Structure 1
Amino acid sequence: MKLKPLAYLLALTTSALVAGNAIAAPRAVKPSALPALATLDLTPTVITDTATNLKVQWSWDLVNASSSLSLLSDPKLTNWTVSLAAFNKSVTIPDIGSFSLLAAGVDAQHVTAPHSGDAATGDLYKYVWTQSNIGTFSTSATTLLSHPGAHSDTYTFESVRTGGSNVTFTLSAVHAVPEPETYAMLLAGLGVIGATARRRRGR
């Protein structure tokens, strides 16, 4: 499943409105949804992509961004799917003034067993991040998604700006499965329940 954040949907809407005044392209040419250069402003680095761990980091260049909207990053992964979109927009509020707002939306999903096909059970991480464009900041948010079968995913989304023109996003995730001792205890418990049921039937 290809996952697209809310910010990406906003980007497509904006692109469609702008395209209304452009000359229509020949039918044989299928234009891309986003300018190819836009992704360069939100450069991803895949650090970890295993069946149990994920870590992807993005560097967002606020100064050289080719667009104030529609920045999309969709790194190619094997065990997870991740999409991140971001924009830097000037916002004006009456009686308060204008300020620059940073926003990003990230979607992620664990797609290797036992998660494959679990979307209906909630195996989808979605997070929307917003921050005023101040010189420095550091934020972090952790979400635990529990799933059937005694396993879970823990996602952590972090953002850092140290005073320069770049914002660094980091998405990490850990797929937790029961330890062998946990399985042994579970099987022992089921055995006790089965023995108790047999004794009651034998009375």
Structure 2
Amino acid sequence: MTTSMARSWTCDALLAAALPAAAAPMGFQGSTMAMGDFGANWREQYVNYALTPRDAVGVSATWMRSDDRQLTREVDELTYTRLVKRWNSKHAQANVWFLGGIGLLHRDGRNRAMATPGVQVDYETTRVYLGATGRLYRASGVNHDFASARAGFSFYAAEYEQTQPWLIVEARRMRGLSERTEVTPMLRFINKNYFVEAGVNNMRQARFNYMYIF
């Protein structure tokens, strides 16, 4: 490792520790991250391990259902996460991530190979968060491409050891399963290496998410 690379990764780690655990789909090198997203028509659970400051591998399980409850999909996959680019400033950070997975789609009693490549971009400070994700869910005869956008702010500044409340609003949609855009305002509580968030979407459905790094 070159001196410049080591310096860059050290700066990344220090800034990431100072910012809220809001955006990153992986933790610091050597850490394990667990995340869950649970709602009426979408449930996802994944765990990954950060091999390097920029690469993580893991597994995920996703359950999806159409708005009319007539179609359900289950996907089990191996995942890979890559930090493609990071920009640091004194009090902010912006990132571009590659998100990918290869696994099996369970549909109508049959298994099909599925690929799920995607991109996430995000920007965050200790008080503001913006992010967007686009991901393809493709198998033979299946197209459930997914897109989401998030924006939020913290109610007040907090130290690393303190719990910080946020308001996050997310809009998301998945092709072939929903004809509506789901919009969910959520309260998020962050403390060091975890967050939890909960809310109710515009279809009056409850939603709960969590993240924990260990």
The interval holding the TM-score normalised by the smaller chain is 0.3 to 0.5
Higher strand share: 2
Give 1 or 2: higher helix fraction: 1
Q: If the length of structure 2 is used for normalisation, what is the TM-score?
A: 0.36
TM-score by length of 1: 0.37
Q: Which gives a bigger RCO, structure 1 or 2 (Cα 8 Å, sep 6+)?
A: 1
Q: Which structure has the larger Rg over C-alpha atoms? A: 1
